[in-house]
Chain A
Amino acid sequence: MSTNALDVLTDPTLRSNEALRQHLLNKTASGTPWLIAEVPAE
């Protein structure tokens, strides 16, 4: 499952379909954390 969608619980501004879509889209676009990162975190 993805945890990005859970942010609606703590952030009321995400509680419209379009706001949540934009949030998920931005989170996905700004770095899909499940992918192998080029340089592993220390």
Chain B
Amino acid sequence: MQKILKKISGIQSLDELTPSELANFIQLLIASEIKPGGPYEFNAVKDLNLLNDHIYRLFAAKGKKLNPEMLTTPLEPSAPVVKMNTGTSVSLYMSVLESFPYPHNIKAVLEKIQKTDEHGEISRITLIFFNSLKKECASALSLSPKTLENYSLANIYTWLAYSLIDNILDNDMDSLMLPFVSMAQRKIVDKYTSAGVEIALIETLFEEVDSANIKELTLRKKIEVNVGKNHVVIHTDDFNDTEKLLAEKSIAHALGPIHIGSLMSTQCQATVRAAMLLYCSSRQLNDDLHDWMEDFANGQPTFVITSLLKQLSINEGSYEYVHLLKHMKDIYWENVLEHCCTKIQKDIQEAINLLESTILEKNSDFTTSFLEPIANSAREALQKHEFEKSFLKNFRPSQ
């Protein structure tokens, strides 16, 4: 006992512990608790207050609050998190807002897009891609600040148009907003053509997005979910298209970089397009992993949802929502989360390899700001998931 307690006093952070060590530590605490959440009583320890204080601080550092009476002195308030605005250009968003009649109608949607654009993923994607080009590629191109601004505006209009369409389709917004979609679409074409993008490329990529939306909407009719009535009706067992939809749904988001690729060579355009499909797909999959329960409740046939249904060998028929959801959670935990996180890491690495072997500098801003954070997020999710599985394997409660 003394040895274990000495070891506890020596722990500086819970991060030092393996899942098995953490499970043992927690079991020891449970066996020694005066009440759930502490304080803890150990016969062989003279200064219990000091040890309880140490234990409290170890867990508080990981966001787990135990009983505050364990503290001998108050916890110092943590330093406020200073949020850096690293990319969003306020003036660009103002300019988009003011370009519409009745701007107050789209203000809220545009503000939401601006928040998503925290690191410049929307308004600065082409600028950062351009700044990340290999020297020999950059010197062959001449893009003026005005051209780069047009790419930025075009992408904001793109997000606006498709956010409005999504909201209208999901019945979150009145169809009276449809004229704003038409206006935004005209502005997309205007800004991209002003940036020198050929109509053919604009049409190709946007047709890809619209075709993907048609496929998704068709598939959506085949999964009817009524949470209130605890009822799910599946009208198909063919969910094979959804992996392709991941990327196709948002490929227009990467029109700027694909156009820059086309200015280098046809081969380069194909490579950038392939890399951007992997980027868009990984971004979408990351979001879908986060939102899958909400998506399922709304009958959205995302790749995550269809993977879960396929893994469960769900055929056409009627199911109880609660029962099906329970099995879906199980398979998500056992299989799909791991599969999707591995896929994201693999696809992002492939995108980096494609871009760095052709057009981008190694470890450029585009790689470190746009690509790597997605792979890192998936890696971290996987590590935490593996930690939990291992913890569970080692947790043998005596109660």
A interface residue numbers (CB < 8 A to B) = 1-12, 15-17, 20-21, 24-26, 28-32, 34-40, 42
Contacts of B33 in A (CB 8 A): 9
Which residues of B, 380-399, contact A by the 8 Å Cβ criterion? 380-381, 384-385, 387-388, 391-392, 395-397, 399
A-B contact pairs, 9 of them (CB 8 A): A5-B22, A9-B33, A9-B59, A12-B36, A28-B333, A32-B381, A34-B377, A34-B380, A42-B115
Chain A CB within 8 A of B48 CB: no
Query: Known: A2-B387, A24-B388, A28-B385. Contact between A36 and B374, CB under 8 A?
Result: yes
Task: Say which one of B60-68, B126-134, B316-324, B349-357 lies at the interface with A.
Answer: B60-68
Bound CA span A24–B390, Å: 12
Contacts of B399 in A (CB 8 A): 12, 15-16
Asked if A17 and B289 make an inter-chain contact with CB atoms under 8 angstroms apart, the answer reads: no
- Min distance, Cβ A29 to any Cβ of chain B, angstroms: 4
User: Do most interface residues of chain B lie in helix, strand or loop, or is the interface mixed?
Assistant: helix
- Min distance, Cβ B59 to any Cβ of chain A, angstroms: 6
Contact of B387 among A1, A12, A31, A40 (CB under 8 A): A1
Contacts of A39 in B (CB 8 A): 112, 115-116
Bound CA span A7–B37, Å: 9
Chain A CB within 8 A of B50 CB: no
Asked if B395 and A20 make an inter-chain contact with CB atoms under 8 angstroms apart, the answer reads: yes
Task: Say which one of B195-203, B228-236, B290-298, B358-366 lies at the interface with A.
Answer: B290-298
- Min distance, Cβ A22 to any Cβ of chain B, angstroms: 9
Asked if B17 and A24 make an inter-chain contact with CB atoms under 8 angstroms apart, the answer reads: no
Contacts of B165 in A (CB 8 A): none
Contacts of A21 in B (CB 8 A): 392
CB-based nearest A residue for B62: A3
Contacts of B29 in A (CB 8 A): 9
Bound CA span A5–B64, Å: 10
Bound CA span A26–B284, Å: 22
- Min distance, Cβ B190 to any Cβ of chain A, angstroms: 28
Chain A CB within 8 A of B330 CB: yes
Contact of A24 among B14, B66, B392 (CB under 8 A): B392
Which residues of B, 206-241, contact A by the 8 Å Cβ criterion? none
Chain A CB within 8 A of B373 CB: yes
Contact of B62 among A1, A16, A31, A35 (CB under 8 A): A1
Chain A CB within 8 A of B6 CB: no
Which residues of B, 115-167, contact A by the 8 Å Cβ criterion? 115-116, 118
Contacts of A16 in B (CB 8 A): 397, 399
CB-based nearest A residue for B399: A15
Which residues of B, 24-65, contact A by the 8 Å Cβ criterion? 26, 29-30, 33, 36-38, 59, 62-65
The contact string, 1 if C-beta is below 8 Å from chain A, for chain B 65-82, is: 110000000000000000
